Amino acid sequence: MMTLTNLSLANEGADIFVPDGVSIEEALKRTTHLAVGAHHDDLEIAAYPAIEHCFENCAAWFAGVVVTDGRGSSRTGPYEKCTDEEIRQIRRREQIRAAMLGDYGIVIQLDYRSSEIKGGINGSLISDLKQIVEAVEASEVISHQPLDRHPTHIAVFYHLLEAMRSLPANRRPDSFLGAEVWGKLDWLSSTQKMTLNSGRREHLAQALIGVFDSQIAGGKRYDLGEIGHRHANATFGDSHSIDEFTQASLALDLSDLLNDPSASACEFALDAVDRFRGETKQRLIDWER
Ligand SMILES: [Zn+2]
Q: Compute the Cα dihedral for 269, 275, 280, 281 and give only its sign.
A: positive
110 phi, psi to nearest 5 deg: -85, -15
* Cα-to-centroid distance, 271 and ligand 1 (Å): 24
For range 9-30, the mean pLDDT: 96
Q: In CATH, what class is 2-288?
A: alpha beta
Alpha-carbon distances of 274 from 180, 191, 262, rounded to whole Å: 19, 12, 20
DSSP code for 237: S
Under 8 Å between Cβ of 257 and 263: yes
* Cα-to-centroid distance, 26 and ligand 1 (Å): 28
* Nearest by Cα to 147 from 58, 74, 243, 250: 250
pLDDT of res. 6: 76
* Cα-to-centroid distance, 42 and ligand 1 (Å): 5
pLDDT of res. 73: 85
**Average pLDDT of the chain to the nearest whole number:** 94
Alpha-carbon gap, residue 271 to 112, rounded angstroms: 32
Alpha-carbon distances of 275 from 90, 190, 272, 281, 284, rounded to whole Å: 42, 10, 5, 10, 14
* Cα-to-centroid distance, 99 and ligand 1 (Å): 17
Under 8 Å between Cβ of 118 and 153: no
Residue 144 pLDDT > 90? yes
Tens digits of residue pLDDT in 251-287: 999 999 999 999 999 999 999 999 999 999 999 999 9
Q: Which residues surround ligand 1, an ion (CB under 5 A)?
A: 38-39, 42
Tens digits of residue pLDDT in 180-206: 999 899 999 998 999 999 999 999 999
Residue 3 pLDDT > 70? no
Tens digits of residue pLDDT in 202-234: 999 999 999 998 888 877 899 999 999 999 999
Residue 241 pLDDT > 90? no
Beta strands (DSSP E) in 91-180 are 106-112, 140-143, 175-179
* Cα-to-centroid distance, 255 and ligand 1 (Å): 22
Under 8 Å between Cβ of 68 and 86: no
Tens digits of residue pLDDT in 89-113: 999 999 999 999 999 999 999 999 9
Residue 115, C-beta contacts closer than 8 angstroms, at least 6 positions apart: none
pLDDT higher at 45 or 74: 45
For range 125-154, the mean pLDDT: 97
What is the pTM (predicted TM-score) of this model? 0.95
Under 8 Å between Cβ of 67 and 171: no
